[in-house]
A and B are shown apart, each in its own frame.
Chain A
Amino acid sequence: MSAHGPVFRDNPKLDPAVAGTLVKGGYAVGGLALLISVAGGFAGGEETRKQFFFSYLAAYMPFVTITVCAMFFSVLHHLVRASWSTAVRRVAENIAGNIPLMAVLFIPVLLGMHDLYHWSHHDAVEHDPILKGKSGYLSPAFFVARAVVFFVIWFAIQHFFRKNSLAQDESGDVSLTYKMRRLAPISTLLFALTISFAAFDWSMSTSPHWFSTIYGVFTFAGGMMGFFAALALGILWITGRGALTSTLTVDNFHDVGKLMWGFMVFWTYTGFSQYFLIWYGNIPEETIYYITRQNNGWMSVFILLVVGHFFAPFWILMSRHTKRSRAMLGAGAAWLLLMHYMDHYFMVMPVLHHHLHFHWLDLTTLIAVGGLFVAAWAQRTVKHNLVPVKDPQLLASMGYENAV
Chain B
Amino acid sequence: MAEARVWGLVAQFDDPAKLLHAAEGLRDAGYKRYEVWSPFPVHGMDNAMGLSRSKVPWIVLGGGLTGMASALLLQWWSGAVEYPVMIGGKPLFAFEFATPVTFELSVLLSAFGAVFGMIGLNKLPTPYHPLDKIAMFRRVTDDGFFISIETRDAKFDLHRSRELLESLGGRHVTVVEE
What residues of chain A have their CB less than 8 Å away from a CB belonging to chain B? 1-4, 272, 275-276, 279-280, 282, 400-401, 403-404
Contacts and interface: CB of A to CB of B under 8 A. Distances in A.
B100 A1 contact: no
A404 B46 contact: yes
Contacts of B51: 404
Contacts of A3: 17, 20
B17 A401 contact: no
B117 interface: no
Interface residues of B, number: 18
Interface in B46-104: 46-47, 51-54, 89-90, 96-97, 99-100
B44 A280 contact: no
Given A404-B51, A404-B53, A404-B54, A1 B43 contact: yes
A283 B63 CA distance: 37
Contacts of A279: 96-97
Given A404-B46, A404-B51, A2 B97 contact: no
B120 to A, nearest CB: 18
Nearest to A319: B57
B16 interface: yes
5 contacts: A1-B17, A1-B42, A2-B17, A3-B20, A4-B20
Nearest to A3: B17
A380 B17 CA distance: 41
A1 B44 contact: yes
Interface string B26-47: 0000000000000000111011
B16 to A, nearest CB: 7
Contacts of B96: 275-276, 279-280
A2 to B, nearest CB: 7
Nearest to B51: A404
A254 B90 CA distance: 43
B46 A4 contact: no
Contacts of A275: 96
A276 B17 contact: no
Given A276-B96, A280-B96, A1 B16 contact: yes
Contact of A403 (B20, B46, B97): B46
Interface string B7-22: 0000000001100100
Contact of A4 (B17, B52, B54, B89): B17
B54 A280 contact: no
A403 B57 CA distance: 12
Nearest to A399: B43
A100 B54 CA distance: 47
A272 B99 contact: yes
Contact of B97 (A1, A280, A401): A280
B111 to A, nearest CB: 15
A2 B42 CA distance: 12
A272 B104 CA distance: 14
A276 B100 contact: yes
A9 to B, nearest CB: 19
Given A3-B17, A3-B20, A282-B89, 8 more contacts: A1-B20, A1-B42, A1-B44, A272-B99, A275-B96, A276-B97, A401-B44, A404-B52
Nearest to A278: B96
A3 to B, nearest CB: 4
Nearest to B54: A404
Contacts of A401: 43-44, 46-47
Contacts of A280: 90, 96-97
Contacts of A272: 99
A25 B89 CA distance: 57
A280 B20 CA distance: 57
Nearest to A275: B96
Nearest to A280: B97
B44 A276 contact: no
A4 B97 CA distance: 53
B43 A276 contact: no
A394 B53 CA distance: 29
A279 B97 CA distance: 9
The 10 closest A-B pairs by CB, nearest first: A3-B17, A404-B53, A279-B96, A404-B46, A401-B43, A403-B46, A1-B43, A276-B96, A401-B44, A1-B17
Contacts of A403: 46
